[in-house]
Amino acid sequence: MNTRTSDAILARMMALHPKIIDLTLDRMWRLLAALGNPQDDLPPVIHVAGTNGKGSTQAMIRAGLEAAGKTVHAYTSPHLARFHERIRVAGSLISEEALSALLDECYEANGGEAITFFEITTCAAILAFARTPADFVLLEVGLGGRLDATNVIAEPALTIITPVSIDHQQYLGETLAEIAGEKAGILKRGVPCVVGPQEVAGLEVIEARAARLGAPLFASGQQWTAWEERGRLVFQDESGLLDLPLPNLPGPHQIENAGAALAALRVLGFGEEACEAAVTRAFWPARMQRLRQGPLVEAAGAIELWLDGGHNPAAGLAIAATLDRLPHRPTWLICGMLNTKDVTGFMRPLAGHAQGLLAVSIPGETNTLPAETTAEAATRAGLAAETAGSVAEALAAVRARDPQARVLICGSLYLAGGILRENG
């Protein structure tokens, strides 16, 4: 492999720190200073934190902004099929040539010092965004907020906190209030914040921090509401009411994500045309994505094949609600998960919606849960479960039993990424 390609440089970067996750901003400030502090030269930043819905909400905001003729940079993680997905420069995925040059520059500027993979690649994204003109930057938090590598923007134009739930307790705290406190760390003095639907314990923490910082809140259920009525999305805030098509991203949970995106666009001063585009033009892979072509689809025959990367109890509830809305069809789950997740909590809401579950290990992931352990957790959650050697093997087993079934591949974004690569 050519050592100048982005894959080779990314592999070198993985060796710069022994831990994958190590939350602190010290290394970020050091490297950004060595790069000339590009975070101070960005277009207006919209900073998005939360446990669930960050990616979908960001995708909707981007669709709305671009429909209004605005040029948008976007940063998200993790990637699914290839790293380039994380960095969208002025509307297009970053090129291999540009990515390799930026990664090389950051690697050299770092001078061999300890820095995590996410930190140094975030610096590369910020550098790309600072050097290319645009109207907005959409910046998605990687983990938490307060000490996340993206939290280096002194004065964003807007912050957003999507629904907060229990996840990543080993890094963010055991209680909902503690986790919400980490997410609320992206709030900045005087900068407005859009808040998606929250449990009371989480909202109280966010409200308290906003009050200390004088940050105006635009919270679901208070300054805005969004709901489904007669097959339409209705949104209302202090500026009036919008009657819009339902989001093209499937699932009833996308109503609340759309609400946050619409609230953000309205706070930024955009009108109904941008708002309608936000809900009708957004695309976000591996979030209840129907797979319609590719070798895996061909192998499935008449089976209806879906893919979702959700992996915590809130995601399990969202997937169950989405399955409940689909036309009735026997549904099987093919599931692979990481050993850091609440596996039974994710699966419990799905128990009443599936004929059974075939558990797989995630190929190439050191933190994968063994298929046997995933199957045991599924059994505890009330699902009839067995193991399979691979997704292809599991799919063949379902097809042999029920060639007209629906199959949902789920449990991890890493598994979802592998499926998208395998399926072309």
How is 73-134 classified by DSSP, letter by letter? EEE-SS-SS-GGGGEEETTEEPPHHHHHHHHHHHHHHHTT----HHHHHHHHHHHHHHHS--
Quick check: helix, strand or coil at residue 405? coil
Does position 130 have pLDDT exceeding 60, yes or no? Answer: yes
User: 156, 46 in Cβ contact below 8 A?
Assistant: yes
Same domain? 34 vs 66: yes
Same domain? 359 vs 231: no
Lowest mean pLDDT among 2-11, 100-109, 350-359, 372-381: 2-11
Q: Please enumerate in sequence order all residues whose Cβ is within 8 A of that of 292, keeping only pairs 6 or more positions apart, or say none.
A: none
Does position 356 have pLDDT exceeding 80, yes or no? Answer: yes
Q: Which of 250, 280, 310 is the last residue of a domain?
A: 280
Is position 192 within any domain?
Answer: yes
User: 223, 261 in Cβ contact below 8 A?
Assistant: no
Same domain? 360 vs 323: yes
pLDDT at 324: 93
Could you tell me the two tokens for 199? 């449990």
User: 151, 145 in Cβ contact below 8 A?
Assistant: yes
Q: Which of 231, 259, 280 is the last residue of a domain?
A: 280
pLDDT at 118: 95
Distance, CA of 235 to CA of 215 (rounded, Å):
23
Composition of the chain by helix, strand, coil, percent to 5: 45, 15, 40
pLDDT 10s digits, 323-347: 999 999 999 999 999 998 889 999 9
Query: In 3D, which of 136, 110, 113, 134 has the Cα closest to residue 123?
Result: 110
Does position 167 have pLDDT exceeding 80, yes or no? Answer: no
Distance, CA of 358 to CA of 376 (rounded, Å):
11
pLDDT 10s digits, 9-61: 999 998 888 776 777 899 999 999 999 999 999 999 999 999 999 999 999 99
Q: What is the pTM of this model?
A: 0.90
Q: Which of 280, 299, 314 is the last residue of a domain?
A: 280
Same domain? 24 vs 172: yes
Is position 390 within any domain?
Answer: yes
Find the mean pLDDT for residues 212-217. Answer: 98
User: 67, 274 in Cβ contact below 8 A?
Assistant: yes
Find the mean pLDDT for residues 132-159. Answer: 97
Residue whose structure tokens are 């505890």: 380
Same domain? 199 vs 297: no
User: 316, 168 in Cβ contact below 8 A?
Assistant: no
pLDDT 10s digits, 219-258: 999 999 999 999 999 999 999 999 999 999 999 999 999 9
**Residue 3 confidence class, pLDDT cut points 50, 70, 90:** very low
Domain count for the chain: 2
pLDDT at 2: 40
Distance, CA of 300 to CA of 358 (rounded, Å):
15
Domain range enclosing 261: 6-280
Distance, CA of 39 to CA of 334 (rounded, Å):
42
CA distances for 219 relative to 74, 189, 194, 247, 256, angstroms: 24, 17, 6, 20, 11
Is position 1 within any domain?
Answer: no
Could you tell me the two tokens for 19? 């831990």
pLDDT at 311: 86
Residue 397 CB-half CA count within 13 A? 18
Same domain? 26 vs 160: yes
Peptide bond preceding 252 in cis form (omega within 30 of 0): no
Distance, CA of 331 to CA of 348 (rounded, Å):
15
Same domain? 87 vs 219: yes
Could you tell me the two tokens for 279? 């809900």
- What percent of the chain stands above pLDDT 70? 97
Same domain? 257 vs 323: no
Question: What's 110's domain CATH number?
Answer: 3.40.1190.10
Phi and psi for 217 in degrees, rounded to 5? -100, 140
Does position 171 have pLDDT exceeding 70, yes or no? Answer: no
Query: In 3D, which of 160, 172, 284, 151 has the Cα closest to residue 220?
Result: 160
Same domain? 271 vs 307: no
328 burial via Cβ count (<10 Å: 0-12, 13-18, 19+)? exposed
pLDDT at 172: 74
Question: What's 360's domain CATH number?
Answer: 3.90.190.20
Same domain? 101 vs 67: yes
Find the mean pLDDT for residues 278-306. Answer: 95
pLDDT at 419: 95
Query: What's the sign of the alpha-carbon dihedral 96, 102, 108, 114?
Result: negative
**H or E element: which one contains 224?**
strand 224-229
**Residue 165 confidence class, pLDDT cut points 50, 70, 90:** confident
User: Which amino acid is located at 48 in the chain?
Assistant: V
Same domain? 269 vs 353: no
Mean pLDDT taken over the chain: 94
Looking at residue 7, the DSSP 8-state letter turns out to be H
Is position 74 within any domain?
Answer: yes
